[in-house]
Structure 1
Amino acid sequence: MLQDPALTFPTPASVDAAIKKGFVTLDDEITHDSVQKVLKSKSKVVAAEILAPALSGSCALLSFYDSRSKELRVACTGDSRAVLGRRTGNGKWIATALSLDQTGGTESEDARLRKEHPNEPYVTMNGRILGNLEPSRAFGDAVYKWTKETQDKLKSSYFGRTPSKYLKTPPYVTAEPVVTTTTVDPTKGDFVVMASDGLWEMLTNEEVVGLVGQWLEKQASTSSVGGRSTNSTSGWLQSWFTTQKASTLPIEHHGPDEASGQRAPIRQQQWGVPTGQDQRFVVEDKNAATHLVRNALGGKDSDMLSALLTLPAPYARRYRDDLTVQVIFFGEGEGNGKVELNKEASATANGAANGVGGEVRAKL
């Protein structure tokens, strides 16, 4: 009996392979095809334009959700992170990491690199590739992928940098992602937070999931009183934050932990951030991602928030990293099934609707 081709679906392995191939192919175009174009053109103008992405670097995080199987794939290249939030039967939340921070300090990444580059003691040093770059997987960062001959040629004739003295057998950095698969349960109100390392340098996985839970609770309580704002917080949320450091932390770890590569939020110590929900966190945004960014940068400490947003580049990099945050909800609550713009959470939504500009940005 022949199967209807319209009803066939790709295998999980083929989906994973396609994602990895897409990442690697794109990076090859950025990193290696650009060199061939420069050498062919023999133009410094062309070199300045197309070598810039190769000499720069970027991490990547991709999610792919199959509504049929309820499987969520997360592909990670670098030190961005995805975390699943799921509410349990007793009303508490579980934070499950769906990706591993890929750095020279990650045990599995360090082992991989040392296996691929034997007899190179400085392939990772102080948690960094060749003692310099922290992410072990990334787009671009071509100085860790080009041969010494290529780098010398580009530097002498066009634009480039002096190769590391430890460079022997590149590439040391790859854009190939690690893909994980998790079954999502929309009936439990599952959500996923995808964010660049700037967020995770400021908040733990548990704090992020707890803050989204706090945000959800605020939306529900506001709705339940006819749209009036309320500051009520349920007991389970209070216990979440007040017992963070205790042995009875109401969190189950189902993903990678700090020992296997997920780093602690180093900025909290740098800034001297106080502990405890009452001192730190606030709920005043209609957008869940903006809510996370606000609390990462200062929360109730409006002076800290303003300072970190005011610092200009490149000085700001000493105190905060880039912050890109997405919160994806899989709940099966009431609704019309349509994707709609949250006008209250968008700074220029009204202007865009009236034809004044088309960019929509969240308020902060």
Structure 2
Amino acid sequence: MYLRQFSAAAIVSIVASSLWYYRKEPDQKRELAGSPTTARGLPHLNPAVANGQSQSRPVVEDDRFFVQEVASSGPIIKSAEVQSVSPHAMLNPEEATQKLRHLQESYEVLRGRGVLRYDIVQLPSNNPIEDDHVEKLMETSPSVPLHDQTDSSATSDWMFWSVFDGHSGWTTSAKLRQVLTSYVARELDATYKHTIAASSLLPPSAALVDAAIKQGFLKCDHDIVHESINRAKKANTKSAAADILGPALSGSCALLSFYDSRSKDFRVACTGDSRAVLGRLNPNGTWTAQPLSEDQTGGTPSEMARLRAEHPGEPNVVAHGRILGNLEPSRAFGDAHYKWARDIQDMVKKDWFGRSPLTLLKTPPYVTAEPVVTTTRVMPEKGDFVVLATDGLWEMLTNDEVVGLVGRWLEENPLKSKTTPSASPSWTRSFLGGKARSDASLPVNRLHNESSQSGQRSPIRRQQWDITAGDERFVVEDKNAATHLVRNALGGRDRDMVCGLLTLPSPYSRRYRDDLTVEVIFFGEAEPCGDVVLNVEASAPRIARPKL
């Protein structure tokens, strides 16, 4: 269990008042609420406590998280054996909302090419956040026609949305934010140009496009993991070598989506356990969730079979759902300790820094950055949407709940589209007669046994948080659809739960929620003006310019 993995020096146990304390790290400059530490021995008792005044506090007990009222109206200071500790006062609902919305962004895509808008939010748990994301728009040449397109003179948009889930540090995900889209776009451009030149202006096949995306991923990872060794050898200092090798020594999952506005093909390239889900409207006004990726971990049956076939005679290539018993994602960028040969790892340790090779290391690489690519024809005329998110969201919500939550959000926040109300009820709430939904149920066509889907893990946090499933726990309070999902993932209507989970500071918060990065892409027919415009209403004040 999580609490058992922490030492007493890291966390002071729950005291009689059930308050939760955390240790102040020596190198941290965080201000802690409270007065100077009292003398060693019994804790100082604030007069307000004796008077019976109460206040909500987040509580961790038996590896469960909950909120309860405790007697306190001010900070309580206690002397610890090594250093002073202080309770962390719980955020109030207004402060929690401010924290939820601090990194939210929203953009209207007014180009008339099938995309209406996309919303983004991030919520750190690690400090700094190990997640990252990037969005890019590229206008292609008119000399790239399609089989079913008669107008070959018009340009088209290539749009990319990506989320990156880092682990063992933030450097790999930050590197991917900088370079991965460029690697993929170069391979796509070369494939299109070569195919068109060789086949009398016919576009490349789906297989060639998929291969180009995979090649972009593999070239990027080769540069991070292997070419970095050659660059590090030329570095003059260990500090310079650390900067070069950082993205190789940490790791990151990657979920990249590629939309071609002319074909309406939406491709998802998945390396790791981030997930993409499509929401599609049914004739009766409900939505259906369609997974566009498979979670790739040491516990995924298809990945377990692949690894055992690639490494025969190694029974521990997958152990306890992890690669060599350690790493959970079976595909990732970086993670050089699972890719470098033993002699390279010994050299890195001797010449610069590092750790000894893994005990079970025999036939690397065990982890690959090659993605699994899926293709879906989106229907802007029917108001499709796609949710991309790191696994922190899927630990809390099912695919059906995520799609149903966006569907409910659309009932309260209809988007502007040229599509007629009869063709796109979600934008106008016509299937509800122009009225908000009166019951608590989500507008989603639920699968009978969603958790049994191959490769789709069920939310693991509910048991930890002692949450019972039920749509009545959800709310609509945010103008940003991504923020709306995160709020409901953290407790929704249960404001104490939301406030408590947002109060837990790093690094302890990581035991109860992961870093969160969520993107929601809305498709539809908008009046074109050629711009990507910041949606101020659904963006944090610090956001000042479009991302694409």
TM-score band (shorter)? 0.7 to 0.9
Match of 1:315 among 508, 513, 516: 508
1:133 aligns with 327
CA distance in 2, matches of 1:336, 1:301: 42
Deviation string 1:224-257 (CA, Å, 9 cap, x unpaired) is: 89xxxx993156xx4447xxxxxxx833599x96
CA distance in 2, matches of 1:194, 1:306: 25
Which consecutive unaligned segments of at least 5 residues does structure 2 have? 1-141, 146-200, 416-426
CA distance in 1, matches of 2:519, 2:467: 24
Aligned CA-pair RMSD: 2.7
Deviation string 1:52-91 (CA, Å, 9 cap, x unpaired) is: 1111111111111122222111000000000000010011
Match runs of 1:71-220 below 5 Å = 71-220=265-414
1:355 aligns with none
- Residue 51 of structure 1: CA displacement? 1.5
Match of 1:232 among 436, 439, 448: 436
- Measured at CA, do residues 285 and 322 of structure 1 come closer, stay the same or move farther in structure 2, by a change above 3 Å? same
1:39 aligns with 233
CA distance in 2, matches of 1:270, 1:6: 52
- Measured at CA, do residues 253 and 42 of structure 1 come closer, stay the same or move farther in structure 2, by a change above 3 Å? farther
> Is 1:283 the counterpart of 2:487 in the alignment?
no
Deviation string 1:95-116 (CA, Å, 9 cap, x unpaired) is: 0000000001001111111111
1:58 aligns with 252
SS for the counterpart of 2:411 is helix
CA distance in 2, matches of 1:20, 1:330: 25
Kept after mapping to 2: 8 A contact 1:96/1:253:
no
SS for the counterpart of 1:260 is coil
> Is 1:251 the counterpart of 2:424 in the alignment?
no
SS for the counterpart of 2:506 is coil
CA distance in 1, matches of 2:336, 2:493: 41
Kept after mapping to 2: 8 A contact 1:186/1:330:
yes
1:304 aligns with 497
Which consecutive unaligned segments of at least 5 residues does structure 1 have? 242-248, 353-357
Deviation string 1:263-295 (CA, Å, 9 cap, x unpaired) is: 1110111111232222x2110111101111111
SS for the counterpart of 2:532 is coil
- Measured at CA, do residues 123 and 6 of structure 1 come closer, stay the same or move farther in structure 2, by a change above 3 Å? closer
- Residue 332 of structure 1: CA displacement? 2.8
CA distance in 2, matches of 1:89, 1:336: 31
SS for the counterpart of 1:326 is strand
1:343 aligns with 536
SS for the counterpart of 1:48 is helix
One-letter identity of the residue aligned with 1:323: L
Kept after mapping to 2: 8 A contact 1:88/1:188:
no
SS for the counterpart of 1:305 is helix
- Measured at CA, do residues 6 and 302 of structure 1 come closer, stay the same or move farther in structure 2, by a change above 3 Å? closer
Kept after mapping to 2: 8 A contact 1:87/1:94:
yes
CA distance in 1, matches of 2:316, 2:367: 14
Structure holding more strand per residue:
2
Q: TM-score if structure 2 supplies the norm length? A: 0.57
CA distance in 2, matches of 1:240, 1:282: 10
Deviation string 1:295-323 (CA, Å, 9 cap, x unpaired) is: 11121222222232232222221111111
Kept after mapping to 2: 8 A contact 1:63/1:74:
yes
Kept after mapping to 1: 8 A contact 2:270/2:293:
yes
The structure showing larger relative contact order (alpha-carbon pairs under 8 Å, at least 6 residues apart) is 2
Kept after mapping to 2: 8 A contact 1:215/1:283:
yes
Query: Mean Cα displacement is larger for which, 328-337 or 269-278?
Result: 328-337
SS for the counterpart of 1:176 is coil
Query: Mean Cα displacement is larger for which, 30-39 or 288-297?
Result: 30-39
- Percent of paired sites with the same residue: 64
- Residue 93 of structure 1: CA displacement? 0.8
> Is 1:20 the counterpart of 2:214 in the alignment?
yes
CA distance in 1, matches of 2:362, 2:375: 35
CA distance in 1, matches of 2:483, 2:466: 22
Kept after mapping to 2: 8 A contact 1:95/1:206:
yes
- Measured at CA, do residues 185 and 234 of structure 1 come closer, stay the same or move farther in structure 2, by a change above 3 Å? farther
One-letter identity of the residue aligned with 2:512: Y
CA distance in 1, matches of 2:445, 2:496: 31
CA distance in 2, matches of 1:185, 1:33: 41
CA distance in 1, matches of 2:530, 2:475: 30
Kept after mapping to 2: 8 A contact 1:75/1:177:
yes
- Residue 6 of structure 1: CA displacement? 5.0
CA distance in 2, matches of 1:38, 1:333: 49
Kept after mapping to 1: 8 A contact 2:342/2:361:
yes
- Measured at CA, do residues 25 and 224 of structure 1 come closer, stay the same or move farther in structure 2, by a change above 3 Å? closer
2:485 aligns with 292
Kept after mapping to 2: 8 A contact 1:194/1:327:
yes
- Residue 344 of structure 1: CA displacement? 0.9
Query: Mean Cα displacement is larger for which, 329-338 or 97-106?
Result: 329-338
- Measured at CA, do residues 302 and 43 of structure 1 come closer, stay the same or move farther in structure 2, by a change above 3 Å? same
Query: Mean Cα displacement is larger for which, 118-127 or 332-341?
Result: 332-341
- Measured at CA, do residues 22 and 79 of structure 1 come closer, stay the same or move farther in structure 2, by a change above 3 Å? same
- Residue 185 of structure 1: CA displacement? 1.4
> Is 1:274 the counterpart of 2:468 in the alignment?
yes
1:30 aligns with 224
1:246 aligns with none
1:261 aligns with 455
Query: Mean Cα displacement is larger for which, 328-337 or 203-212?
Result: 328-337
Kept after mapping to 2: 8 A contact 1:348/1:359:
no
CA distance in 2, matches of 1:187, 1:234: 27
Q: TM-score if structure 1 supplies the norm length? A: 0.85
- Measured at CA, do residues 252 and 336 of structure 1 come closer, stay the same or move farther in structure 2, by a change above 3 Å? farther
One-letter identity of the residue aligned with 2:445: P
CA distance in 2, matches of 1:240, 1:340: 30
